[in-house]
Amino acid sequence: MSKRKKYIISALLLLTICILIVVLFDSYSIIRGFLGDVIVVALIYNIIKIFFDIVPLKLCICILIFTYFVELLQCFDFVKLIGLSENELARTMIGTTFDVKDLAAYTLGAIFTYLIEIKYNS
């Protein structure tokens, strides 16, 4: 199986897991919030790898910077600033509350994604 197909399958599987986490564990913030943030890093990684052949470490660092930036935007109530405070999808995807634990989750997600990538796909 080609690497591209592996990334497509991985992305679909991770997307399914993210959706299940949101639906099934809505009231369990540790699972939905923390585990969801760990998995979303891997999801973003796999989606990018479908289209671009980027060195794993560089890509993980770029995704980590991106996720940190999105988390930082939450400090400034970005969803409200852009007029989407009533849009549930925007509130879920961008987030509305800054939390240092999210930064830890993104970091763990990037580390796990990188380790899995170099172990199985290098």
Share of the chain above pLDDT 90, in %: 57
CA distances from 1 to 4, 7, 29, 43, 89 (A): 8, 10, 37, 20, 34
Task: Count structural domains, the chain.
Answer: 1
Give the model's pLDDT for residue 49. Answer: 97
Interval 100-119 mean pLDDT: 96
Question: Does position 27 have pLDDT exceeding 80, yes or no?
Answer: no
Residue 100 structural domain:
3-120
Give phi and psi for 63, each to the nearest 5.
-65, -40
Identify the band that residue 122 occupies on the pLDDT scale cut at 50, 70 and 90: low
Question: Does position 5 have pLDDT exceeding 90, yes or no?
Answer: yes
Q: Which two tokens stand for residue 15?
A: 């997307």
